[in-house]
Structure 1
Amino acid sequence: MPEDPCMDVTTFVMSGKDNLADKPALIDAKTGHTMTYSQLQHAICSVELGLVSIGVRQGDVVMLVSRNSVHYPVAFLATTSVGGVLATLNPLTSAGEAKKQAEAAGARFVIVEEEFVDKVAELGVPLVIIEKGDKIKVGSTESKISLGDPAALLYSSGTTGTSKGVVLTHRNLIAAAVLHAASGPDVEPGEVYLCVIPMFHVFGLVIVTCTQLSRGVPIVVMPSFDFEAMLGAIQRFKITHVPLVPPIVIALGKSPAVKAFDLSSLREIGSGAAPLGREVINACLERFPDVKVRQGYGLTESTAIASVADPDDLEHYGSAGLLSSNTLAKVIDVGSGRPLPPNQQGEIWIHGPTIMDEYLNNPNATAETVDAEGWLHTGDLGYFDDSGNLYVVDRIKELIKYKGFQVAPAELEALLLSHSQVVDAAVIPFPDEEAGQVPLAVIVRKQGCSLDGQGVMKFVSDQVAPYKKVRKVMFIDAIPKSASGKILRRELVQMTMPVSKL
């Protein structure tokens, strides 16, 4: 961590780049347009002046509504540089949802991509519009900012409950970038990252954007996700590192489309946002034997980082790795609140410099999640092995209660994905009068295959304890997921409700 108490995330990211002035910082995957580090610095300064001229002051919330683009980091770093707090928004949300989130965040200004102006036009706040091909003028401003000042307002996924505004400070963002960079090797010649992850998500904003720009590594930015376009970008720009979410990692390991592209430049596939099972990792390694797969664990509330796995540690593949530097964790028995020894499952608690400041305007939820000693109660079920590797089993709230036993959907999903005829899978609870709940597998089959429900249930029952067996199967065309790749289980439960009432 920097010693300067007035360090801000923009200064941290852009410092020490004089020798990289003419080197690529951001590249548009679609057009090939490149912004050098010098141009990035000039662009940030120009937007800083624009924000100050319309009245943005320290502590003001500025909402950013945009797809991934080379302008996204500019808007983010300019906002935090003048002391503003950047609130991100999924640009695909409706105008009504945008209004609700803007009001909850207390947004006083909005930076919006031209295409999405209609969604925020009725908010009654000043708009800064990102136009296509916008030319940027040079300028500079100064603002005294402290490490403890808020820098970003990101919303938790809300896949199992109401989404909450997570307030992250400059200290949080800088610490996360420093810790993530320290978890891997130094910058290697020819290193190029591909940003497929949405930049409005903590994974894309912090782990990809902040960390890699601070390291001086060029980032190729995809405006939206398309699998074959991603493969084409890897080939065209000789991508070496691609951070992904599990559904895309699964596709890399299984999709026949991969064979049409030259992906020989790839050195590492990263995965976060949800657990990645050993079976999925093995499928990737079979297809890409020279590529390393690195899995990490973190939450929006921990600025996306808590632990990172060593891709060379084959013995512990499937784990989330060792804790990041300056990070503490313990596993707590949910019933008694006592710490548990290795190899016993409980709730994961985290402590360190990346833990959020608060939930915006929600002191009760903040107190329930971060205790008086600063421990973040993650709500995730997991355990440490004897070597200190962390294994994340599932969300506690998502466990299926079968006759008093707890069944983790993520474990069954990883197993199902190892089936050659399964393209994607999710497991949800299905109400049962005798058992309380039974595991229901929602399956996306490979096109033209003969796999049926009995085949799915037998495949699982041959490999798990009796109480973990899949008892029901449903086939659909696609598993609903959030922009960050998490399964939208509530939607699946709603889809099965009419069936459960028959």
Structure 2
Amino acid sequence: MTRNHQLIYDQLIEIAPDSRPWISDHGSAAVPVVDDRVQLTDIADAAARAATLFEDTGIRPGDYCAVWLDAPLDIMIVIAALSAVGGVPVLISPALDAETLARMLEPVTITRIVTTSDRLAKCEQVQTLTQVDDWAELAGRLPATPPRRTSAVSMPGSAPYVVTHTSGTTGVPKLVQYTRKAADHQGYAQEVPAILGRLRGYAAVAVSPVHFRTVSGLLCALRRKVPLIVLADHSAESVARYVRRWQPIYLEAHPNTLMQWEHLADNGTLASVRHYVSTFDVIHPGTVSRLLAGSRYRFASFFEAYGQSELGGIAAKVHLKGFTGRRSRWGLGLGGHSTGWTAPGYSEARIVGPDGRPVPAGTPGRIQVRSEGQFQTYINRPEAAAANLDAEGWWDTGDYGKKTRFGRLILIDRQIERMTTIPSAIALEDVLLTRMPWLLEAIALEQDGRVRPVVAVRDRAFDRNAWQAAVSGLPPMAPPIVLDYDAFPRTATGKIRRSALAQQITGIHHDH
């Protein structure tokens, strides 16, 4: 197919006037949302006017501007507008506190921020920020501001396009910088499954609005003219209302979010979904099977992507309705979780031993990846980026795994979380959740030389007898610790912070 290299702003301003409206579960300070509908031409117009406003107020090519907003629609508009004039949006999670933000920004020259009125005072306490803009006030000035009449300013492919940040599970979050070339490649990589899946209906998306996945997904949707359902509220109740009304054929969310939506598959809510996508992390086979069973399509598919903030997608596999989850159900596959294959021409993975040299197929080691869409650097921690990247461009993911003879990538565990008593915590968790669908979460930790499961249950009391029957034949484990689902510490994309959970349960014993 002919490659389209245009980025978000230029795609927006070429939107046809009769384009299908997008659907939003939230309002915007800059565009009207009427009966859940928002016109793409309104978004494009707001971005064009905001571009003029940013340029008039001092944004120049290469200038960084932090963006600390809540509404995904507003974040999209600001990304488009800043990039139109060569500015670099630095996307800050709504969950972040001002103290952490100050520590993130301290080593870099980011002096301007666009934020919400309730955060103005917090931002003024961050010494590096000299210009604090209220987005609602800026949005109020848009109708009187002329729209930008030209396409986005021309910049080289190596120029920074957007900055997001890591979850900060091991300290201050790192600011991850992506180039225009990386954005182009990641958007293109997502176009391929969109074409193969022949997306003609709505695509519902419920992912972090400040993650690079949102940026590349927005680019893909604009390029392929796929109308989006943009979901800010990820609760099952809210999502169910929008899915029932607008009948999307595509649904994407974080793995842990999809786990909380499993029951929607049982009552027909997800019948319209033909293609599921889970990003950022592996997902348990039981969740995949249950969601696929809720689709009315005979050959519904589930695209499971294994990726990382620094790289985008690393590997992926496709599950088909009726053909997934069987190995774990019978207690096999305890050596790791299959993440599928890398995409030819986009990413490649290798396994290296302690000496840094590649190891033979089937031998576990550190997972290293080289990708067309990988990040450029951590702008607040360049030394940390350099430490994990070798001269040939191989990035050490921090994960431990192996490759099969046929190139399939098996994830065993994070390098710093490797178990001594079982081969793979992730694989054991797959089996526990598949054998016990009444569990909402299961995490295997090591405590006092034993495997210690930490679990949450779905709307019922923990059934110790059912647990004992289900773990029969599995490696010996200490009695499980039962927590409320909300008590599990998580990253912004829903991943369990295992080291924090281990500290949390220290001293808790349910051996009686």
- Which TM class, normalised by the smaller chain length? 0.7 to 0.9
1:259 Cα deviation after fit: 4.7
Q: TM-score, normalised by structure 1?
A: 0.86
Distance 1:13-1:183 versus aligned 2 partners, 3 A rule:
same
Distance 2:169 2:423 in 1: 19
Q: What corresponds to 1:425 in structure 2?
A: 442
* SS state at 2:220 partner: helix
For the 8 Å contact 1:212–1:218, the answer to whether it is kept is yes
1:138 Cα deviation after fit: 4.1
Q: What corresponds to 1:280 in structure 2?
A: 287
Q: What corresponds to 1:473 in structure 2?
A: 480
Gapped regions of structure 2 (runs ≥ 5)? 27-32, 326-336
Q: What corresponds to 1:102 in structure 2?
A: 105
Equivalent of 2:429 in 398, 402, 413:
413
Distance 1:224 1:105 in 2: 32
Distance 1:25 1:97 in 2: 37
1:73 Cα deviation after fit: 1.0
Deviations 1:120-169 (A, max 9, x none): 23334323323298554441165231111011111122334543221111
Q: What corresponds to 2:122 in structure 1?
A: 119
Distance 1:341-1:330 versus aligned 2 partners, 3 A rule:
farther
Distance 1:214 1:146 in 2: 20
Distance 1:50 1:65 in 2: 18
Q: What corresponds to 1:34 in structure 2?
A: 37
Distance 1:231 1:495 in 2: 33
2:465 counterpart of 1:449: no
Equivalent of 2:188 in 163, 178, 182:
178
Distance 1:161-1:96 versus aligned 2 partners, 3 A rule:
closer
Distance 1:461 1:407 in 2: 18
Q: Which amino acid aligns with 2:427?
A: E
1:399 Cα deviation after fit: 1.6
Distance 1:421 1:184 in 2: 33
User: Alignment identity in percent?
Assistant: 19
Distance 2:272 2:119 in 1: 35
Matched ranges for 1:68-467 at <5 A:
68-123=71-126, 124-131=129-136, 134=140, 136=143, 137-140=145-148, 143-185=153-195, 188=198, 190-206=200-216, 208-253=217-262, 255=263, 259=266, 262-288=269-295, 290=297, 291-302=300-311, 304-312=312-320, 319-402=338-421, 407-418=423-434, 419-430=436-447, 432=448, 437-452=449-464, 456=467, 459-462=470-473, 464=474, 466=475
Q: Which stretch of the first structure deviates more once superposed, 161-170 or 182-191?
A: 182-191
Distance 1:34-1:371 versus aligned 2 partners, 3 A rule:
same
CA-based RMSD: 2.9
1:171 Cα deviation after fit: 0.7
Q: Which amino acid aligns with 1:145?
A: M
2:38 counterpart of 1:22: no
Distance 1:333 1:394 in 2: 15
Distance 2:11 2:85 in 1: 15
Distance 1:200 1:363 in 2: 21
For the 8 Å contact 1:439–1:470, the answer to whether it is kept is yes
Q: Which amino acid aligns with 1:39?
A: D
Distance 2:439 2:382 in 1: 44
* SS state at 1:394 partner: strand
1:55 Cα deviation after fit: 0.9
Deviations 1:243-267 (A, max 9, x none): 11112222333x3x55556332211
1:297 Cα deviation after fit: 1.7
Distance 2:389 2:11 in 1: 28
Q: Which stretch of the first structure deviates more once superposed, 107-116 or 230-239?
A: 107-116
Distance 1:205-1:115 versus aligned 2 partners, 3 A rule:
farther
Q: Which stretch of the first structure deviates more once superposed, 304-313 or 412-421?
A: 304-313
Deviations 1:433-470 (A, max 9, x none): xxxx3221111123333512x754653352x4x3xx33
For the 8 Å contact 2:419–2:446, the answer to whether it is kept is yes
Distance 1:289-1:105 versus aligned 2 partners, 3 A rule:
farther
Distance 1:313 1:447 in 2: 26
Q: TM-score, normalised by structure 2?
A: 0.85
1:29 Cα deviation after fit: 1.8
2:68 counterpart of 1:65: yes
1:186 Cα deviation after fit: 5.0
Deviations 1:257-302 (A, max 9, x none): 5555633221111111111132332232333363321111211111
* SS state at 1:440 partner: strand
For the 8 Å contact 2:9–2:83, the answer to whether it is kept is no
Deviations 1:12-40 (A, max 9, x none): 6447x45x333136432245453333323
* SS state at 1:298 partner: strand
Distance 2:364 2:199 in 1: 42
Distance 1:110-1:489 versus aligned 2 partners, 3 A rule:
same
* SS state at 1:131 partner: helix
Gapped regions of structure 1 (runs ≥ 5)? none
Q: Which stretch of the first structure deviates more once superposed, 117-126 or 90-99?
A: 117-126
Distance 1:300 1:445 in 2: 30
Q: What corresponds to 2:491 in structure 1?
A: 482
